[in-house]
Amino acid sequence: MYFTDRGIEELVQRRGEETVTLEWLGEQLRTFVDLHPEFETPIERLATWLARDDEDED
């Protein structure tokens, strides 16, 4: 198990029943980066990966 899995597991346990929009998620990510600018690059990579997840990879 990766260290980040604990945070993911906590997220699922605490909020797994909730429905969220991508707009809400985007706002949460912006707020996180505002508070923790050192994580700008990984958050940008995650957002890009989520946005392109359904594209075919050639």
pLDDT tens digits, residue range 1-54?
A: 566 688 889 999 999 999 999 999 999 999 999 999 999 999 999 999 999 977
- Sketch the domain layout of the chain as residue ranges: 4-49
Whole-structure pTM over 0.85, yes or no? Answer: no
Element (H, E) at 5: helix 3-15
- Give me 58's structure tokens: 């050639």
Strands (E), the chain: none
Task: Quote the pLDDT of residue 53.
Answer: 77
